[in-house]
Amino acid sequence: MSDTLAPLYRISLPLMLGIVSAPVLADSPPVQPPASAVFSYADLADLADSAPLVVRAQPRKVVAVEPERARGLKPGWGRFYVEARTEAVIAGTVPLGGDLRYLVDLPLDAKGKPPAFKKKSVVLFARAVPSRPGELQLVRPDAQLLWDGALDIRLRGILKEIYAPGAPHRITGVREAIHVGGDLAGEGETQLFLSAANGEPAAITVSRSPGRPVRWAVSFSEVVTGDAVPQRDSLGWYRLACFLPAQLPAAANISPAAADRTAAARDYAFVMQQLGPCLRNRK
């Protein structure tokens, strides 16, 4: 996701000193609500999952970049050069010094001012710039959030899931769907084989028996366990609800009989209904 945006941010920060306008003033700046009150699990997971570094920092200097120098800037937004002090490395193994520099895009109010964040703690989702100590490149132009205690707790929980051994890997789609009917009317099993970014196996099994609730399970390994249903706002849920297509692709539905293909599509729709929508509030 971030790779398509990266070229916009590959600007030498020392050169930025010659293309910035006056420092941003703190005259009645708009108030930015805490990220913990605004962003969903998926919003935070999108950022955390794409960032080699998650850093808490305190901006000390904020300077507006001239709009004509800010390529790809969204209407109503401004780009800013920031110098900050490292407060903590929340995730990542790249050594960081005390001084940081980066560019960030922020929404502007009717007076053209960004939310106030100077001398406040912020969380940066970034990567280090090779051969430029202290220089960071945000994984997205706006990948800076105001820090607060509630955000810290939620974010650390997500990062713990991401870095856990055997964590659910990134799902990219449905590779094959096969339904096999049982001996009794209404009995059958659908297996949904998923494609993953790292090539590792992943599958969903949906089982139906007369007089019993529909059962389903997901596995991110070779073996499908008996009751592995991911809870909402967990990494396993995020991998499925936020990246599987809304409907079973026809090309993946490979059962030879039409009735079995219909059953596979029905079971896929059941899984998506059980997962529920992937809510994202970041625009």
- C-alpha 221/C-alpha 202 separation (Å) is 6
In a domain, 197, yes or no: yes
- Among 178, 197, 268, 281, CA closest to 239: 197
In this structure, are 115 and 181 located in the same domain? no
Judge whether 50 and 6 are in contact, CB under 8 Å. Answer: no
115, 141, 163 — which closes off a domain? 163
- C-alpha 194/C-alpha 275 separation (Å) is 16
In this structure, are 98 and 32 located in the same domain? yes
In this structure, are 119 and 228 located in the same domain? no
CA distances from 153 to 26, 54, 94, 158 (A): 29, 14, 22, 9
147, 163, 179 — which closes off a domain? 163
Number of structural domains in the chain:
2
In a domain, 50, yes or no: yes
In this structure, are 22 and 138 located in the same domain? yes
In this structure, are 210 and 75 located in the same domain? no
Q: Tell me how crowded residue 189 is: count the other CB atoms within 10 A of its CB.
A: 17
In this structure, are 125 and 152 located in the same domain? yes
In this structure, are 79 and 208 located in the same domain? no
In a domain, 13, yes or no: yes
**Domain span at residue 270?**
171-275
Show the beta-strand stretches assigned E in the chain.
20-23, 53-65, 77-91, 99-107, 122-128, 136-138, 144-146, 171-181, 188-196, 203-208, 215-219
In this structure, are 124 and 7 located in the same domain? yes
In a domain, 123, yes or no: yes
In a domain, 263, yes or no: yes
For residue 66, what are the contacts with CB-CB under 8 A and spacing of at least 6? 19, 20, 21
CA distances from 161 to 139, 165, 168, 257, 276 (A): 20, 9, 9, 40, 20
95, 130, 163 — which closes off a domain? 163
Q: pTM, whole model, 2 decimals?
A: 0.84
Q: What angle (nearest 5°) sits at the alpha carbon of residue 61, between those of residues 60 and 63?
A: 155
- Among 82, 76, 72, CA closest to 7: 72
In a domain, 61, yes or no: yes
Q: What is the pLDDT of residue 182?
A: 85
> CATH number of the domain that 7 lies in?
2.40.50.120
In a domain, 280, yes or no: no
The one-character DSSP state at 275 is: H
pLDDT tens digit at each of 283 positions of the chain? 444 334 434 444 544 444 444 444 444 455 566 676 689 999 999 999 999 999 999 999 999 999 888 889 999 999 999 999 999 999 998 888 899 999 999 999 999 899 999 999 999 999 999 989 999 999 999 999 999 999 999 999 999 999 999 999 999 999 999 999 988 888 899 999 999 999 999 999 999 999 999 999 999 986 655 458 999 999 999 999 999 999 999 999 999 999 999 999 999 999 999 999 999 998 7
In a domain, 282, yes or no: no
Give the SS3 label for residue 224: coil
Give the SS3 label for residue 183: coil
Q: What is the pLDDT of residue 68?
A: 86
Residue 67 in tokens:
């709009």
- Among 43, 106, 102, CA closest to 73: 106
The one-character DSSP state at 140 is: S
Residues forming a β-bridge with 194: 174
Burial of 206 (0-12, 13-18, 19+ CB in 10 A): buried
